[in-house]
Amino acid sequence: MRADSPRTAVVIGCGTTGTSVALALTAAGVDVALIDEDPRATAEAVAIGAGAAWTARRPPADLVVVATPPSEVVDTLYSAQSRGLGNVYTDTAGTKEIVSAEAELRGCDLKGYVPGHPLAGPDAPGPDAADAGRFAGRPWVLCPYETTPDWALGTVAALVELCGADRLDLAPHVHDRIVAELSHGPHLVAAALSTRFADSSSAFLGLAGQGLRDAVRTAGGDPWLWSDVLAHNAGPVADVLERISDQLAGAAAILREGDDSAPLELALTLEEGRRGEAALRQAGDLRTTRDARTGRRV
Amino acid sequence: MRADSPRTAVVIGCGTTGTSVALALTAAGVDVALIDEDPRATAEAVAIGAGAAWTARRPPADLVVVATPPSEVVDTLYSAQSRGLGNVYTDTAGTKEIVSAEAELRGCDLKGYVPGHPLAGPDAPGPDAADAGRFAGRPWVLCPYETTPDWALGTVAALVELCGADRLDLAPHVHDRIVAELSHGPHLVAAALSTRFADSSSAFLGLAGQGLRDAVRTAGGDPWLWSDVLAHNAGPVADVLERISDQLAGAAAILREGDDSAPLELALTLEEGRRGEAALRQAGDLRTTRDARTGRRV
C-alpha cells in the first residue's frame, strides 16, 4: 500500500457508484463510513458490507468521496468541508467543467478537493448493482486544479489505485467532450430509439433481434440521474445530438429522393459507420487483452 | 416430416442466409444444390457441407430458395423460373413490398412463388457466419399472394419448419414497416453513431464502455448489402429516421436553451425510453423462456 493511501474514508451517496467505491475501499482494508440522505440507502449499503453508517463522533477522515448526482456535488462538498468531515475530498460526477467551476465560485476549499469521474459502465441504479470490482481495469479521470497540492492529489490517486482503476488526468472541458461523445450523446440516442417501443405489443417487440435489444440497453438507466448529467454537460451533448440528427435527416432525405444513386450514397455512410464500429471494437479488444495480461477484470 | 416437405432444393446465393438455409436443409436430409455467381462462394459453402454445386443435369427441385440481396431477387427468380429450376420458389430478402410487386410486374409465375424473410440476427457477411441453427426459434415471415395455392404455401411452410423457425404470415407493407422499426432504422442509427469513431485514436476509443460497443455492433454489417435493403424500404425507413432525428434535435434544443426546466423535460423523454427498453427486453425474455421450454435455440 502506498504511503498516501487513506486509512479512513467517508462515502456520501449510496447509489451504485458510491456503494461500489465503499465496497472496494472496505475490501482494501479502509475503515469506511457511509452517508445518504435516504436512511434506507445507507442501511442497504451497510447490509452488503460496504461500511458502517457515519456518526458525528468520527474524527475527520483521510478521504471523503462525494458520490451524488452532478447537481448536488458542490452543495454536498461545501457542507462536508464546513463540517470538517475529512482532509481530502473528491467526487464521482459524470460531468466535470460545471462542477469544478461551481466549487470554485461557491468558495469550497480547493486545496483539499480533486474532481474525479470513474468511467464504469452504465448499470441499473441503486446499491443492488454495486460491486467492489466495478472500476477494475476501467479509466478513472481526475481533473486537478492548477493549484491542487501533491498531498491531496496523492490521496485521490491512491483511491483510484485501491479501486483497481487506471488514473487519467484531463482538463474538465476535455473530459466533458469525451464523455459527451462516448456516453452522454449515445445515451440519448438509445433513449430516442426506444421511446417508440414504450407502448408496443409484446407480439411486435418479440420480432426484434438481439442487436436491437443491445443497442438500446443503456436507455434502461435512471432517467432522473441521467437528465441531471445531461443538463450539466449541455453544450457538448447538444453538439453530438445535432450532428447525429443531421446525419439521420440526411439519410432520410436520400431515401425520400429515391434516386438511383441512393444505395451508393447510403453505402458511403454505412461504410464509415462500419469502420467506426471496427475501430471501437478493436480499442475495446486491446483494453481487454491488456487487462487479461495484468489479471484485471474488465 | 410433413407430406409437403421438399426432398430436393436449390439455394441461389451462398451468403450467410443462403448457406445457413442450405445447412439446415441438408441437416434435415434434403438433397441441396448450391448456386452463386461467385464460384468461390459456392465452393466455400460446399466445403462446409451445405450441399453440392448445382449442375444442369439436375431435374427440377421441389423448392428453390433465392437468397440474394433484395435488388437481385426478381431478376434471379424470373431467370430461375424460366430455366425450370424447381416447382416452388421463395426468397429471403429483408424487404417484401417492392420485391412482391416487382415479381408480379416482371411476369414471374406467382402460383409457384411465396415471398419470405427469415428474421435472424445481424451478423458478419459470408458463409463463415453460416449456421444450420441460425433460424431456430426465430420468426420467419411469409407474404403469400391472395392467389398463392396451398401446395406452394405448404412447401415453403415446410422449409420454415425444417429450419426450426416460427412461421408468421404478414402483408408485405406490414412486414416492411415492422422491419423498418426493429431493424432497418436502428441499423442506420447505429451507423450514424459510429461514423464519428472511424478516424479516432484508440486511446480515445479505449475510454468507451461496453454499452457503446453493444449499441453500435450492428453497424458492422456489410455496407453494400444494407444499402440495398434500406433503399428497398425507403419510405418506412425514412419515417423512422425523421422521427428519431426530430427527437434528437428537440433534445439538443432543450440543452441549448439551458432553462431550469431542462432536466425535467429531458427526464420525460428518458423515462419513455426506459419504458421502451424494458418492454423490448421483456418481450425478448418471453421469447427466450418459451424457447427454453420447447428446447429451441435462440
The answer to whether residue A2 is domain-embedded is no
Same-domain status, A82 and A158:
yes
- Cα B85 off chain centre by: 24
Answer yes or no: is pLDDT of B227 > 50.
Answer: yes
Are A196 and B107 within 8 A, CB to CB? Answer: no
Are B143 and B179 within 8 A, CB to CB? Answer: no
Of the candidates A193, A214, A268, the beta carbon closest to that of B189 is on A193
Q: Collect all residues of chain A within an 8 Å Cβ-Cβ radius of residue B139.
A: 206-207
Answer yes or no: is pLDDT of A161 > 60.
Answer: yes
The answer to whether residue B1 is domain-embedded is no
Model confidence pLDDT, tens digit, residues B158-167: 999 999 999 9
Kindly give the pairing relationship between strand A31-35 and strand A52-53: parallel
Q: How many domains does chain B have?
A: 2
CA distances from B277 to A196, A217, B89, B192, B274 (A): 9, 6, 38, 20, 5
Same-domain status, B213 and B156:
no
The shortest C-alpha distance from A224 to chain B (Å) reads: 6
Answer yes or no: is pLDDT of B85 > 60.
Answer: yes
Same-domain status, B110 and B191:
no
Q: What is the pLDDT of residue B103?
A: 98
Query: Rounded to an integer, what distance in angstroms lies between the CA atom of residue B175 and that of residue B97?
Result: 8
Same-domain status, A95 and A206:
no
Please give the average per-residue pLDDT across A72-101, as a whole number.
97
The answer to whether residue A204 is domain-embedded is yes
Domain harbouring B184, CATH code: 1.10.3660.10
Q: What is the pLDDT of residue A128?
A: 60
Q: Identify the domain containing residue A185 by its residue range.
A: 175-294
Q: Tell me the percentage of chain A whose pLDDT exceeds 90.
A: 87
Please give the average per-residue pLDDT across B145-166, as a whole number.
97
- Last-in-domain residue among A170, A186, A210: A170
Same-domain status, A181 and A270:
yes
Of the candidates A202, A231, A241, the beta carbon closest to that of B248 is on A241
**Confidence band (pLDDT; 50, 70, 90) for A124?**
very low
Interface test with A, best of B196, B217, B233, B261 (most A CBs within 10 A): B196
Model confidence pLDDT, tens digit, residues B232-290: 999 999 999 999 999 999 999 999 998 999 999 999 999 999 999 999 999 988 776 66
Query: Rounded to an integer, what distance in angstroms lies between the CA atom of residue A6 and that of residue A161?
Result: 11
- Last-in-domain residue among B111, B144, B170: B170
Please give the average per-residue pLDDT across B131-135, as a whole number.
92
Q: Tell me the percentage of chain B whose pLDDT exceeds 90.
A: 87
Same-domain status, B42 and B139:
yes
B139 with A183: Cβ contact below 8 A: no
- Last-in-domain residue among A140, A170, A200: A170
Answer yes or no: is pLDDT of A61 > 50.
Answer: yes
Same-domain status, B109 and B180:
no
Same-domain status, A210 and A149:
no
Q: Collect all residues of chain B within an 8 Å Cβ-Cβ radius of residue A168.
A: 207
The answer to whether residue B2 is domain-embedded is no
Same-domain status, B62 and B118:
yes
Same-domain status, B238 and B194:
yes
Are A186 and A236 within 8 A, CB to CB? Answer: no
**Confidence band (pLDDT; 50, 70, 90) for B121?**
low
Of the candidates A231, A241, A286, the beta carbon closest to that of B206 is on A286
Which grid coordinates belong to B77? 427468380
Please give the average per-residue pLDDT across B95-108, as a whole number.
97
Is residue B92 helix, strand or coil? coil
Same-domain status, B23 and B161:
yes
Domain harbouring B97, CATH code: 3.40.50.720
